[in-house]
Amino acid sequence: MQFLDEYQDMVATAIDKYIFKDKPEELYAPMNYIISHGGKRLRPMMVLMACEMFDGDLQKALKPALAIEFFHNFTLIHDDIMDEAPLRRGKATIHTLHGINTGILSGDALMFKAIKFFEDLEPNLYKACMRVFIHTGLLLCEGQQYDINFETQDEVTFNDYIRMITYKTGILSASSFEIGALIAGADFKDAKAIFNFGKHVGIAFQIMDDYLDVFGNQEQFGKKHAGDIYENKKTVLYLLAKEHGTEEEQKELDFWYSKKTDNVDKVYSVEKIFRRTRVDEKTLHLIQEHNDLAQQYLNKVSVSDEKKKPFIELANYLLRRES
């Protein structure tokens, strides 16, 4: 998709421009390390996409877009520490290379650097964007805590799971679109419609992430295979298996999810249950449901169908991803 390449080039050029040269190097080198890996940099592109959708100034939106990218990477650093994850985007995580203390500090510094990127906005727009940004950060922390709670919580409902991934993942995509719309001067109704589009795209994206953790190509995915099973994460795969499994399968899941172990037998046994209960097919159906909801909100945005095409393409692209 050429339009994504153009946005990516803009974001990459801006990141190179604002590479950290501050001291101490021990703090800023890890920040440059994770930012340079890039990934797909989807969220800053979402800011630019929404800004352009409403005929806004992309240069004005560029630094707020970087704010979203820096903030996102701050959450990844801390998330990896909490998950004790050895890999991120196929490369060693910061705490693995530099230790937990530096990981925490460099993550914190990235968050503060992100906030500074809003400073050029005029006062009313600054206030509106910061309101969205701060609310997003708080919800993301709540979602992360729910995720942690679920590892030891006996009963997790499907609604609990949806709330958790909405806060952890959906809200950042939603807010990226909303901030871009606000910078372009979109009205409240349109800004909220594109927010809800982003929320459901983000939910679908996270469910796909859960799916790929077990059923994806791990070489392309860049993460430890079945890491969620090792960590006892009660993802949609687990919840669907519990719902559709036999009594014996439910008891076996309870047994394996009561212990945190790197035992390969655990992964093998849980994966077998996932396949027998066909949670792969059910999960893909659920992803499509949220994609459909996203399209319904996109239809409510009062711009031409031509301007909506990139958003449809982006949503479909995210559903087809392998990494």
Given a cut of 60, whether residue 323 has pLDDT beyond it is no
> What pLDDT, on a 0 to 100 scale, did the predictor assign at position 179?
98
Given a cut of 80, whether residue 1 has pLDDT beyond it is no
- Give the CA radius of gyration of the chain: 20
> What pLDDT, on a 0 to 100 scale, did the predictor assign at position 107?
97
Mean pLDDT of 243-270: 92
> What pLDDT, on a 0 to 100 scale, did the predictor assign at position 221?
53
Q: What is the pTM of this model?
A: 0.91
Mean pLDDT of 295-319: 94
Given a cut of 80, whether residue 220 has pLDDT beyond it is no
How many angstroms separate the CA atoms of 169 and 180, rounded? Answer: 18
Given a cut of 80, whether residue 322 has pLDDT beyond it is no
Rounded alpha-carbon distances, angstroms, from residue 285 to 8, 92, 156, 225, 272: 30, 33, 21, 22, 20
Per-residue pLDDT tens for 136-180? Answer: 999 999 999 998 999 888 899 999 999 999 999 999 999 999 999
Q: Which of 43-47, 218-222, 229-233, 308-312 has the lowest mean pLDDT?
A: 218-222
> What pLDDT, on a 0 to 100 scale, did the predictor assign at position 305?
96
How many angstroms separate the CA atoms of 122 and 234, rounded? Answer: 43
Look-up of token digits 């530096």: 102
CB 213 within 8 A of CB 235: yes
CB 279 within 8 A of CB 244: yes
Given a cut of 90, whether residue 318 has pLDDT beyond it is no
Percent of the chain with pLDDT strictly greater than 90 = 82
